[in-house]
Amino acid sequence: MSLVGANDRVPPELGLADAEPENWVEALSIPGPLQDHAMGWLHQMMLRASRHQVRRMRPALAGVGDERLEEIANQAADEAMMAVLTKLHTFEGRSRFTTWAYKFAILQCATEVRRYAWLTREVELDDLTPLRERDRSPASYAEAADLASAVRGAIEVALTPHQRRITIALLIDEVPIDVLAQRLGTNRNALYKTVHDARSRLRAHLIVSGHLATPHPQAGTS
């Protein structure tokens, strides 16, 4: 269901039918015809940004019809609008309001598309199945192959079972982080932190084994 109805039109006498609100926060906060106008404008913005995201991710939705894609975009736009209104008090003006608002539509729509694309796919979360190395072409570089082999070993000895399961799912099996978060009842932050810690452990292990160079003391401080 759309959040904007047919009656949410600004009265013609206000002369704002085609005008973006000058002060979005005020326009969205104070009940009245200007708020109705701002809400309608915002919903159109959310819908256009959601359609943009659906178009970008179209290859992940092969076989899905246009009607379903439009439903995904509309659902994302509605939820993004709710998120914008809920977070309105946090807008600090560090960017334009429109850019700030677009990011909610893009996040919401990208998440919807990823989850829809994986709706019928299993997520393998065991840490017992041995990792295989990719079959190599004669042109493969020995150094890169050596690193892959060393990483495979490090995953088995340097990570906790939880880190191993999450890291394999996200970085090797390429399960989208939103999909994994939904299946595990957690969130993107928690999974990214697990991967961050796993990467630190892998790097430390591979530096000791000589497969990675010790970071330069000045690296990453600029």
Partner 1 sequence: MIQAHKPLSEHAAQRLTLDTEPYLSCDECFDLVDSYVEALLADPDHDQLAMRTHLAGCAACAEEARSLLCYVAEQDGLNPEPALQRLENDPA
User: Residue numbers of the site for partner 1 (CB under 8 A)?
Assistant: 49, 52-53, 56-57, 94-96, 98-100, 102-103, 106-107, 110, 114, 122, 124, 126, 128-129, 131-135, 140-141, 144-145, 147-148, 151-152, 155, 167-168, 171-174, 176-178, 188-189, 192-193, 195-196, 198-200, 202-203, 206, 212, 215, 219-220, 222
Chain centre to alpha carbon of residue 100: 15
Nearer to partner 1 by C-beta: 26 or 146? 146
Residue 55 CA to residue 69 CA, distance in Å, equals 9
Q: How far is the CB of 33 from partner 1 (least distance, A)?
A: 26
Nearer to partner 1 by C-beta: 7 or 218? 218
Residue 222 CA to residue 220 CA, distance in Å, equals 6
Q: How far is the CB of 5 from partner 1 (least distance, A)?
A: 26
Q: How far is the CB of 6 from partner 1 (least distance, A)?
A: 26
For residue 185, CA distances in Å to 106, 188, 190 come to 22, 10, 11
Contact 168, 126 (CB under 8 A): no
Q: How many CB atoms lie within 10 A of CB 152?
A: 14
Nearer to partner 1 by C-beta: 36 or 169? 169
DSSP class of 213: P
